Amino acid sequence: MVEVNQMWVCCSAGAKADPSRVRIADISECGSDPLARTVRRGLRKLHGIFSGIQVVLSTERPRCTLRPVEELEGNPLDYQVIPNFRVRPIPVLGTIPAIFGMAAASHILCTLAQQPYTPDPVFRIADKQYVALLERLRQREEVVFGNNAGPEVDLEDVMYIVREVWRGLSAKGPRIAPVGLDRAHNRPTSHLTLTRWDAGKPATVNNLGRSGLLHRVAVMPGP
């Protein structure tokens, strides 16, 4: 029997309406969600937990604001989700919490069935940043390795390496976003630079991303 020894958190569905923006991510990558930030700060401060908790969240910007306190009935503290969190409620479209729950249930059931999957990363990189990464790689190939022919990868390869293999994080650092740079899909990525893993081999997808089943160093901090 397969056990799922993992904690899950469903974040704020308030003021969200677009189901295509629902994502599953590690709590270390969820800095854009106010509820996730509060939970994460508590875990970090009280228990020293920085990652390892799966979160369902929406990357959509809120469509409306909190309700005024004057409109609340009864004790405002009754509307508080967790201690030290806001008391003013926010409108919720009924379908979105259900989608959050279904997303979490699907992930857990697939894990129990030994058919796990890796959700898409939630960070955001503009197309021009991929172009800049490829251009810096070409410059590095020429200056550092004396390769005037350029790397044996194209823009699509660069996008795959950065998003799917290294998920926007430096291979030289931790596999979670460092504290202060963990702003989820808004965290900075302009400092990343592609370089060879094996300096004696050409800049191919295998040498930049991974070789066989071994993940290789691909994204390094820029100069």
Q: What is the mean pLDDT of each run of 10 residues along the chain (223 residues)?
A: 64 89 84 76 85 86 79 71 72 92 92 86 79 89 90 89 77 55 54 82 78 37 47
Predicted confidence at residue 17, as pLDDT, reads: 93
Q: What's phi and psi for 25, nearest 5 deg? A: -155, 165
Predicted confidence at residue 173, as pLDDT, reads: 59
Predicted confidence at residue 95, as pLDDT, reads: 94
Predicted confidence at residue 214, as pLDDT, reads: 32
Q: Minimal CA–CA distance to 80: which of 72, 71, 89?
A: 89
Contact (Cβ atoms closer than 8 angstroms) between residue 90 and residue 66: yes
Predicted confidence at residue 174, as pLDDT, reads: 55
Predicted confidence at residue 12, as pLDDT, reads: 81
Predicted confidence at residue 215, as pLDDT, reads: 34
Contact (Cβ atoms closer than 8 angstroms) between residue 123 and residue 184: yes
Enter the DSSP assignment of 76: G
Predicted confidence at residue 221, as pLDDT, reads: 47
Count CB atoms within 10 A of the CB of residue 134. Answer: 19
Predicted confidence at residue 83, as pLDDT, reads: 74
For the chain, list the strands marked E by DSSP: 8-10, 22-26, 54-58, 192-194, 210-211, 214-215, 219-221
Predicted confidence at residue 181, as pLDDT, reads: 46
Predicted confidence at residue 115, as pLDDT, reads: 92
Complete domains list, the chain, with CATH? 8-112 (3.40.50.720), 127-221 (no CATH)
Cα separation, 89 vs 2, in Å, equals: 39
Q: What is the model's pTM? A: 0.61
